[in-house]
Amino acid sequence: MSVSIDGACATRFEPIKRVFESLWDDVEVGASVCVYVGGEKVVDLWGGWQDQAQTRPWQEDTLVNVYSTTKGPASLVTAMLVDEGLLDFSARVTDYWPEFGARGKGDVTVAQLLSHQGGVAGVDRKLTVEDLYDWGLMVDLLANQPPLWPLGEGAGYHAVTWGFLAGELTRRVSGKTLGQYLAKHVCQPLGADFYVGLPDSEMRRVADLIGPNRARRQPVAADGPPASSPPLNAIALANPVIAPYKHACSTAWRKAELAAANGQANARGVARIYAAIAGDGEIDGVRLLRPEGIDAAAQLEVDLDIDLVTGVPMRRARGFMLNTDGGYGPNDTSLGHGGAGGSLGFADRGAKVGFGYAMNQMQADPNVVPRSRQLVDALYACL
């Protein structure tokens, strides 16, 4: 596919632009990539289309659902609350949310909850997508949910429920929803284009997600039976099933506050937030939190344990994912979060890098090098 790439790229980082352009030789439809180094924006590119039919060009300010890349800025919110003294990672969740202690969860700490060790990766009740829009229902279900594994015996990816857990803690200690806190204390001061709970005024800017099954190229079928998933996979990832177009492109989804899965953003907004983290909590004179606050949020909680939901090893801090296999560059201390389909944001405090990539065509073939990884590798080759 031939597309026009718009934006700016410093000469030193031209290899990133060439890699970005090459992504349309594969499955890319519409996308943006942005990189800060040392507090300076050195790459800010976009191109392609907002829809599969290629009728709406991707614009400078186009937003798209970034799925679990949302968990990164949401983790920054909890880190800021700790830095303000409103929340304590070592405290029990019940110190702030007493009802959560039901059914044997009274000893779960905030750090354990945010690092996916609390055992509430899903609920026993069969859910619909519409249930996710009922905050009271979801937090009550989670408070009364028996843990899916014993505390201290592993971590399992809380793909959707994490947003309600972090969100309810935020609401209890700050009086604001997580989306409101993010907007007032992070995005507005930084000028970062990132929303959890999209206003009606911004709906016109959002691109359509395109599911993996709609990609121009499909993976070659593997020989033999498909690999089996861990038993907890279904309750965490498929209750409810969230369809990329039918559900995640709906107005109701975009307006909801699902801090685990429904951030509406572009690469510039993602990178701007991570650039502040890479700057030890500050960029352009705007300080979000102290360096010690980032240190606390970045503390290792889960070290390459096999995840009980995904079945793969993961390194986790207190909400943020920690670098694994070079996905966030060569520095093990880099932290961030990716989203289903391929979006990514991370901060490398050592190299002072803030990175963001957002797209609408979800990754189709899990066996190829992710598009985000190609961009990350090109970035570090330039440094």
- Over the chain, what is the mean pLDDT? 97
If you classify domain 5-69+178-219+228-382 with CATH, what class do you get?
alpha beta
Task: Give me the mean pLDDT over the 222-239 stretch.
Answer: 86
Tens of pLDDT, residues 55-64: 999 999 999 9
Active site residues: 68
Give the per-residue pLDDT at 220. Answer: 82
pLDDT at 221 over 90: no
To which residue do tokens 């909590």 refer? 281
What pLDDT score was predicted for residue 327? 97
Report the side by side order of strands in the sheet with 30-37: 5-9, 40-48, 30-37, 353-359, 344-348, 335-338, 321-322, 313-316, 302-306
> What is the rounded CA–CA span in Å between residue 281 and residue 276?
5
Q: Which two tokens stand for residue 59?
A: 């614009």
Query: pLDDT of 90-101, one tens digit each?
Result: 999 999 999 999
Tell the residue number behind the tokens 């499909």, with chain if given: 218
Is the pLDDT reported for residue 223 higher than 90?
no
pLDDT tens-place string over residues 147-205:
999 999 999 999 999 999 999 999 999 999 999 999 999 999 999 999 999 999 999 99
What are the tokens at 28? 């890319």
pLDDT in tens, 249-282: 999 999 999 999 999 999 999 999 999 999 999 9
Of 197, 191, 157, the residue nearest 177 (C-alpha):
197
Domain ranges (residues) in the chain: 5-69+178-219+228-382
DSSP states along 212-281: GGGSSS-PPPPSSSPPPPPTTHHHHHSSS---TTTTTTSHHHHHS--TTT--EE-HHHHHHHHHHHHTTT
Cβ partners under 8 Å of residue 139, min gap 6:
164, 168
Rounded-to-integer distance, Cα 291 and Cα 310, Å = 32
Residue with the two structure tokens 């206003």: 199
CB-count burial class (<10 Å; 0-12, 13-18, 19+) for 23? buried
286-291 mean pLDDT = 98
Partnered with residue 41 across adjacent β-strands are 36
Structure tokens at 69: 């890349």
Q: Mean of the pLDDT values across residues 315-340?
A: 97
